[in-house]
């Protein structure tokens, strides 16, 4: 075991139609996650209590090998739901080294990340059926059963082109199936769940969005809307007063950083591992705008990575924290170039080595109607029109700490169905 590879990952965050889109860049070395085979956290989320839809299975220690323990809190999970939540049956060889490193850095072992307490390190739960060892998804857990038990009609190979309005009321959706255009009508309301980038695109091509952004592509405006560890103290104290005030806006029990150690294949698959530096909070803002009035064309997404000094400085401190984790793990560094020594060198490395972590949120922000950036109300109903609702992660006003699957599922499968009649 000789080579350590450090990679930077960006946690996607967003903020309101054609306006802000937060693509985060802070790191977490406190809510650090110990090895897991997928990136799902389900149970009682850090922000929302999500248990009704879950079928939890405890870890199978007999498959993980001798001496392996997986602390967990059974009260954090539900039973009897269709969505399987369990633990991986595979224990990566680097796990003992990572556990040693976390403890050496002063991180506390906690009983999982599903109870709402995120500061510390633990194993990740997976959305897998432990018996079949297959992915348990929204499609396998909810849609498949619904198709058998109801008259729900699914239109395959069909693209939503535009929401149809009668005055200010959404009355249907223009769609296209293998080149054939037609309109689906709605008796009560149109419910959109196209994701953090496609949902704002569909709203904007339908005339719901900032007038300034819609006039250029020639869209008729229907509604003019705008759209797990804290940073260690010795690093935190090096930040300016302004930067510390930026971070203080978030709740104290929300981690700033995530360090995700995992096996990494190239260039030598035999003995490499990576530490993914995942930033959980952010102050940079980007945009989502229209490329054309055709939803077959991708929208224009400008993440505006590392735009603020706060994001840059936290990323630098996170990189330093990751180097500490590598050293504490007991792995020896192989024939790689020496790590950067100055903050300027670290920032340059970060800027050239970042990648999204695909937790995009906030492009159709939920908020009070008096908030000029809010698109939907507390029930996901779009302001200034009737009969139109959004039920995906685009409505989150910011990205919750930790991974967002539980929060998305809680909104989609538990909260909103109670309000949709």
Q: What is the DSSP secondary-structure string of 101-113?
A: HHHHTTPPB-S-S
Element (H, E) at 321: helix 309-329
- In the sheet with 3-9, reading across from the earlier edge strand, the strands are 3-9, 272-279, 257-263
Q: What is the DSSP secondary-structure string of 297-320?
A: SPPEEE--TT-SHHHHHHHHHHHH
Non-local CB neighbours of 210 within 8 Å, separated by 6+ positions: 17, 18, 19, 224, 225, 226, 227
The answer to whether 6 touches 277, Cβ cutoff 8 Å, is yes
Give the CA count within 13 Å in the CB-facing half-sphere of 109: 11
For residues 374, 378, 382, 387, the Cα torsion angle rounded to the nearest 10 degrees is -170
Burial class for 216, CB neighbours closer than 10 Å (0-12, 13-18, 19+): exposed
- Catalytic annotation on 359? yes
Round to whole Å and give the CA distance between 6 and 275. 5
**CA 9 to chain CA mean position, Å:** 12
Element (H, E) at 5: strand 3-9
Give the ranges where 38-83 is alpha helix by DSSP (H).
61-64
User: What's the angle, vertex CA 265, arms to CA 262 and CA 266, rounded to 5?
Assistant: 130
Round to whole Å and give the CA distance between 386 and 48. 27
DSSP-derived letter for residue 23 is: B
Looking at the chain, the number of H-run helices and the number of E-run strands are 11, 19
How many other β-carbons are positioned within 10 Å of the β-carbon of residue 168?
A: 12
Choice among 84, 123, 359, 403 that is catalytic? 359
3-state helix, strand, coil in the chain (%, to 5): 25, 25, 50
Count Cβ neighbours within 10 Å for each residue of 31-67 and write b for 16 or more, e otherwise. Answer: bbbbbbbebbbbbbbbbbebbebbbbbebeeeebeee
Which active-site residues does the annotation give?
Answer: 359
């Amino acid at each position: 075991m000789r080579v350590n590879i450090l990679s930077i990952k960006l946690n996607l965050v967003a903020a309101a139609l054609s306006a802000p889109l937060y693509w985060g860049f802070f790191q977490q070395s406190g809510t650090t996650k110990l090895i897991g085979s997928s990136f799902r956290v389900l149970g009682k989320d850090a922000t929302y209590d999500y248990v009704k839809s879950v079928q939890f299975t405890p870890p199978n220690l007999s498959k993980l090998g001798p001496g392996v323990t997986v602390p967990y809190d059974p009260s954090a999970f539900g039973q009897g739901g269709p969505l399987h939540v369990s633990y991986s049956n595979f224990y990566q060889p680097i796990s003992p080294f990572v556990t040693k490193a976390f403890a050496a850095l002063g991180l506390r072992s906690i009983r999982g990340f599903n109870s709402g307490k995120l500061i510390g390190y633990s194993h990740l739960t997976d959305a897998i059926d432990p018996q079949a060892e297959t992915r348990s998804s929204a499609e396998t857990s909810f849609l498949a059963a619904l198709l058998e038990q109801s008259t729900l009609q699914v239109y395959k190979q069909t693209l939503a082109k535009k929401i149809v309005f009668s005055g200010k009321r959404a009355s249907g959706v223009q769609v296209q199936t293998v080149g054939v255009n037609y309109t689906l009508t709605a008796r009560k309301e149109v419910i959109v769940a196209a994701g953090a980038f496609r949902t704002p695109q569909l709203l904007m091509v339908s005339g719901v969005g900032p007038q300034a952004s819609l006039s250029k592509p020639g869209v008729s405006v229907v509604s003019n809307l705008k759209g797990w560890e804290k940073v260690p103290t010795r690093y935190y104290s090096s930040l300016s007063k302004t930067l510390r005030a930026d971070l203080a806006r978030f709740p104290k029990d929300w981690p700033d950083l995530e360090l995700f150690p995992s096996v990494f294949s190239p260039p030598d698959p035999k003995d490499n591992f990576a530490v993914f530096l995942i930033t959980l909070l952010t102050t940079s803002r980007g945009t989502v705008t229209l490329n054309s009035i055709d939803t077959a064309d991708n929208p224009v997404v400008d993440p505006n990575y590392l735009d603020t000094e706060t994001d840059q400085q936290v990323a630098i401190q996170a990189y330093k924290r990751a180097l500490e984790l590598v050293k504490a793990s007991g792995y020896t560094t192989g024939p790689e170039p020496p790590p950067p020594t100055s903050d300027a060198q670290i920032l340059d490395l970060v800027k050239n080595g970042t990648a999204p972590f695909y937790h995009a949120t906030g492009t159709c922000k939920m908020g009070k109607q008096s908030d000029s950036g809010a698109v939907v109300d507390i029930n996901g109903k779009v302001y200034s029109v009737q009969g139109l609702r959004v039920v995906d992660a685009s409505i989150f006003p910011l990205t919750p700490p930790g991974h967002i699957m539980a929060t998305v599922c809680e909104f989609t499968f538990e909260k909103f169905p109670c309000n949709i009649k």
